[in-house]
Amino acid sequence: MTPFFITTPIYYINARPHLGHAYTTMVADAIARSRRLLGDDVFFLTGTDEHGQKVERAAQKAGVKTAVFADEVAASFRQVCQDLHITNDDFIRTTEPRHIRGVQALFEKIAAAGDIYKGKYEGFYCVGCERFWPEKDLIDGKCPDHKTPAQWLSEENHFFRLSRFAAPLREHIRKHPEFIVPDIRKNEIVNVIEGGLEDISVSRASAAWGIPLPGDPGQTVYVWFDALINYISGVGYPDTNGTFARYWPADLHVIGKDITRFHCIIWPAMLMSAGVPLPRTVLGHGWVHFQGEKLSKSLGNIVNPLDISERWGADALRYYLLREVPLWRDGDFTWDLFIQRYNSDLANDWGNLFTRTVSMVHRYRGGKLAVAEAGEALAPVIQEAWASYHAAFDRFEIEAGIEAAWTIIRRANRLVEEGAPWNLAKDPARAQDLDRLLGSLVVALQNTALLLFPVMPSKASLVWEALRLEPSIDQARFPAPGGALSPPPTGVVLGESKPLFPRIESK
What is the contact surface with ligand MSP in residues (CB under 6 A)? 9-12, 20-21, 23-24, 49, 227-228, 230, 255-256, 258-259, 287-288, 295
The active-site residue out of 81, 126, 285, 459 is 126
Pick the closer one to ligand MSP by CB: 55 or 469. Answer: 55
289 is catalytic: no
Q: Which amino acid would we find at residue 487?
A: P
The active-site residue out of 61, 297, 426, 498 is 297
Minimum distance from CB of 282 to ligand MSP (Å)? 11
Strands of the sheet containing 216-221, edge to edge, are 203-204, 216-221, 212-213
Bridge partners for 124 per DSSP? 133, 152
User: 463, 377, 359, 322: which is closest to 30 by C-alpha?
Assistant: 322
Pick the closer one to ligand MSP by CB: 233 or 448. Answer: 233
Pick the closer one to ligand MSP by CB: 129 or 416. Answer: 129
Minimum distance from CB of 21 to ligand MSP (Å)? 5
The active-site residue out of 18, 51, 85, 109 is 18
Helix, strand, coil content of the chain in percent (nearest 5): 50, 15, 30
Query: Sign of the C-alpha dihedral, residues 332, 337, 339, 344?
Result: negative
Q: Which residue is nearest to ligand MSP (CB)?
A: 20
143 is catalytic: yes
Residue 156 class from Cβ within 10 Å (0-12 exposed, 13-18 middle, 19+ buried)? middle
In degrees, to the nearest 5, what angle opens at C-alpha 186 toward C-alphas 182 and 188? 120
Pick the closer one to ligand MSP by CB: 224 or 478. Answer: 224
Pick the closer one to ligand MSP by CB: 156 or 332. Answer: 332
129 is catalytic: yes
Coil, strand, or helix at residue 219? strand
Whether the Cβ atoms of residue 266 and residue 309 lie closer than 8 Å to each other: no
Minimum distance from CB of 263 to ligand MSP (Å)? 7
Pick the closer one to ligand MSP by CB: 31 or 37. Answer: 31
Pick the closer one to ligand MSP by CB: 105 or 232. Answer: 232
Q: Report which secondary-structure segment, H or E, holds 394.
A: helix 375-394
The active-site residue out of 54, 81, 99, 143 is 143
297 is catalytic: yes
Whether the Cβ atoms of residue 392 and residue 400 lie closer than 8 Å to each other: yes
User: Rounded to whole angstroms, how far apart are CA atoms 298 and 285?
Assistant: 24
The active-site residue out of 61, 120, 294, 426 is 294
126 is catalytic: yes
Dihedral, CA of residue 169, residue 175, residue 177 and residue 183, to nearest 10: 50
Helices 305-312 and 19-37 meet at what angle, rounded to 10?
Answer: 60
Backbone angles phi, psi at 230, to 5 degrees: -55, -30
Length of the chain as a residue count: 507
Pick the closer one to ligand MSP by CB: 137 or 258. Answer: 258
Pick the closer one to ligand MSP by CB: 265 or 415. Answer: 265
User: Rounded to whole angstroms, how far apart are CA atoms 88 and 44?
Assistant: 5
Coil, strand, or helix at residue 473? helix
User: Rounded to whole angstroms, how far apart are CA atoms 221 and 232?
Assistant: 16
294 is catalytic: yes
Q: Report which secondary-structure segment, H or E, holds 83.
A: helix 66-83
User: 279, 277, 271, 227: which is closest to 253 by C-alpha?
Assistant: 279
DSSP 197: -
The active-site residue out of 54, 81, 109, 129 is 129
Kindly give, in sequence order, each residue whose CB lies less than 8 Å from that of residue 183, ignoring residues fewer than 6 positions away: none
Whether the Cβ atoms of residue 381 and residue 408 lie closer than 8 Å to each other: yes
Q: Catalytic residue positions?
A: 18, 21, 126, 129, 143, 146, 294, 297
